[in-house]
Structure 1
Amino acid sequence: MVQIAWLGKKSPFCGNVSYGLSTTKALRSRGHQTHFIHFDTPHSPERNGISLLANDPDVSLPYLVKSQVYTIPSPRAQRELRDSLERLKPDLVHASLTLSPLDFRLPELCQQLSVPLVATFHPAFDSGLRNLTAGTQQLTYQLYAPALARYDRVIVFSQLQADVLIKLGVPAKRLAVIPNGVDTDLWSPASPGTASLLQRSVRERLGKERIFLYMGRLATEKNVEALLRAWRLVSPEGCRLVVVGDGPLSSTFQNQFNDPQILWWGYEPDLETRVALLQCAEVFLLPSLVEGLSLALLEAMATGTACVATDAGADGEVLAGGAGIVMKTQEVTTQLRTLLPVLRDQPVLTAALGRGARKRALERYTLSGNIDAIERLYEELIHSNSLATLHSQAKST
């Protein structure tokens, strides 16, 4: 079994957090020893350079600023990270990149410690550069490309994402395409005729209407305003839009779109409740301008919910060929004005789309398949590192 030092995020909640928690949990279930190193202690003079969790299997690093998008570590964080790695002596370091200055220093640090280094690169993208947000994300890719070229391997979620990095100078041999995966036993359709107490409670709060659902951050790149405008224009009778999530635009949207047909659920921290919400929903809507590979989309697919998403990032690739409806990132409101009445009037269509989505998730996007691929990558890198160490020792004697 492999001893892994996992550098990632546990808060605030975002796709990176979901990825790190679900992946490390699955790795531990297979017998791997995983130490989670994360920014979880606000910088304080009282620390005096001492890691507060020095004897814990998980390690807390100090930070100055932490958000869903980026992290600014304290000046002591790099030293504490090095001390932790020297103490843990992992077989491999896996960094689920947190958009932090430490991301750029990790290759040199792990090289000094002779430890293989894997990254998972999360930032959303739109290879078509069709809007300002996509252009901003492209700058992130340009900034990171030289550093990623120094990692032993960089996990990306699609070949489209790999192609973007290759064009920016990251060698293809450094990249590993391993799509996100979800637990398709947990994220599954509700059993016909049986509803748990939680499902009944969620359904009662949702009301009797047919449920169209958005689940994610309320931020510019998610383009939720385009969905809200389309909903207000169409006002599909007998249907309700449920918005699950929070973010910088939450108050603005709630004030601007005060509509009884829209339920502002807010941030939902409970995993089982999020499952129940998707099980109650007939249609999942994701109008993003940029994406990587949306975990929320894969979760909706696995629950058998009909999915409508833009072709930002890899989401269009995921739904292509009958697993859902794919929109362009431009003029989303116009496209939804056409689609919403069709989805309202064709429940047979939404049921068929839900079955297709579930089938695609089972075929390509299971968590077990994701972990299988990560394990093979670990084995390859650890084996190569062992050979290199033996070769170095032989040369020195």
Structure 2
Amino acid sequence: MKRKTIVFIVPSLKAGGAERVVSTLANQLVVTYNVIIVVLYRCIPFYFLNERIKVVFCQDIYNESPTFFESINNHYYLIKSCKNVIKNYQADVIIGFTTIANIYSIILSKILKIPAIISERIHPKYGSISKFWKIVRRLTYPTVNALVIQTNDIKSYFKKYINPSKLFIINNPISVELSGLRDLNATREDRIICVGRLEAQKNQELLIRAFSKIPSNSWELILIGDGKLKTKYINLAKSLNVSNIVFLGSIKNISHYYNTSKIFVLPSNYEGFPNALIEAMYFGVACIATDCPSGPSDIIINNKNGFLIPTNDQNALKNKLEKLINTPNLQEQFGEESLKSSTLFETKPIVQKWEKLIDFVCS
């Protein structure tokens, strides 16, 4: 039987949640399918990609503030570039990740008369896209073959205007490359970690302020990730006179910090389905997360395998941090329960769901 060819369309392959999921899926799906990743803007891929995966870049530079006519021309060029790749490789299905790439995928699906699967990565009610793109999303999404989301909360949002039979809940997988580096015998240090882009959505400011209020604090807080607010957060830590905060930026050896840290915190204002949280739990780290829309409440059972706190509640975060810091037995309990519950996010069963969906839309 002829191998099917799938084309992913993504804005970037830099460090990030959607990028990690695409890389993980592509590395597994290339066993069964021909896999091409069309990346809208040139970058150096941050995550490992199997050498059998073909990566094609559409455009060298991202213009952050185009004029109206530049924007129209840019979208036309990108859609045309994606179309040429899809035709050249005779793709059987298009898979879009993130809103703009999803809309491109739907348009190209109609033009080329091949099925499309799209995937939202953040709760659509709280995402930062413009009113124009929200309207276009509302018009185009109902016509797609399948929309993959991560939680029932997001499904409830979309089923108001999309046929529920087109909505599929598939959780994010933990990459094989990362899971293979788990070391349950590693020595854990008095360290709190937070992994994510340094942007308002992730709300690391809440964690920095809560951490600064813990008295006689000999613990270290490490923020892993880059973003527009990095300088602001560095200055905030200085203004709070907190010296034991380290800003590592985006790093390759994140497994070292999952293996050797005692506490992980997700302070986000909103999410889709937080990769970093399931990764930390898979490594047995005791976790605290805001009960934000959406994802954390699907992953953490409060007081059993972690703590859920109200969004943007600095005092609640401080109290839970103090409780975990001062109760080693609770750290171990949360870690052990996390190991059990996070097996749901191992790669194989999640990739099998994607394979089943791909075969379904192509049938």
TM-score between both structures, scaled by the size of structure 2: 0.85
Deviations 1:29-65 (A, max 9, x none): x3321011112349xxxxxxxxxxxxx9332212652
* Equivalent pair of 1:61/1:81 in contact (CA under 8 Å): yes
* Equivalent pair of 2:266/2:290 in contact (CA under 8 Å): yes
Shift of 1:135: 7.9
- The alignment status of 1:329 with 2:311, answered yes or no, reads yes
Counterpart for residue 50 of structure 2: none
* Equivalent pair of 2:95/2:105 in contact (CA under 8 Å): no
Cα distance, 1:135–1:37 mapped onto 2, change above 3 Å:
closer
Amino acid across the alignment from 1:76 = Y
* Equivalent pair of 2:305/2:334 in contact (CA under 8 Å): yes
Shift of 1:231: 0.7
Amino acid across the alignment from 2:15 = F
Counterpart for residue 34 of structure 1: 35
- 2: distance between equivalents of 1:345 and 1:86? 60
Q: 1:280 aligns with which of 254, 260, 269?
A: 260
Cα distance, 1:228–1:189 mapped onto 2, change above 3 Å:
same
Counterpart for residue 230 of structure 2: 250
Shift of 1:11: 3.3
Counterpart for residue 7 of structure 1: 9
- 2: distance between equivalents of 1:25 and 1:184? 9
- 2: distance between equivalents of 1:135 and 1:379? 30
Counterpart for residue 47 of structure 1: none
Deviations 1:242-292 (A, max 9, x none): 111111111111112122221222221x1xx10111111111001100000
Shift of 1:105: 4.2
* Equivalent pair of 2:150/2:273 in contact (CA under 8 Å): yes
Counterpart for residue 53 of structure 1: none
Identity among equivalent pairs (%): 18
Counterpart for residue 324 of structure 2: 343
* Equivalent pair of 2:219/2:244 in contact (CA under 8 Å): yes
- The alignment status of 1:155 with 2:157, answered yes or no, reads no
SS in 2 for 1:218: coil
Counterpart for residue 85 of structure 1: 86
Cα distance, 1:352–1:137 mapped onto 2, change above 3 Å:
farther
Q: 1:172 aligns with which of 132, 140, 164?
A: 164
* Equivalent pair of 1:282/1:350 in contact (CA under 8 Å): yes
Cα distance, 1:141–1:78 mapped onto 2, change above 3 Å:
closer
Q: How many residues align?
A: 337
Amino acid across the alignment from 1:153 = A
Q: How does 1:189-200 map to 2 (within 5 A)?
A: 189-192=182-185
Larger radius of gyration: 1
Q: 2:250 aligns with which of 252, 255, 267?
A: 267
Amino acid across the alignment from 2:348 = S
Q: 1:373 aligns with which of 336, 340, 353?
A: 353
- 1: distance between equivalents of 2:137 and 2:246? 39
- 2: distance between equivalents of 1:372 and 1:144? 28
- The alignment status of 1:224 with 2:217, answered yes or no, reads no
TM-score between both structures, scaled by the size of structure 1: 0.78
Counterpart for residue 59 of structure 2: 62
Deviations 1:83-112 (A, max 9, x none): 221111111111112x43x54343232123
- 2: distance between equivalents of 1:229 and 1:39? 37
Please tell me the root mean square deviation across aligned C-alpha atoms, in Å.
Answer: 2.5
* Equivalent pair of 1:9/1:20 in contact (CA under 8 Å): no
Cα distance, 1:145–1:41 mapped onto 2, change above 3 Å:
same
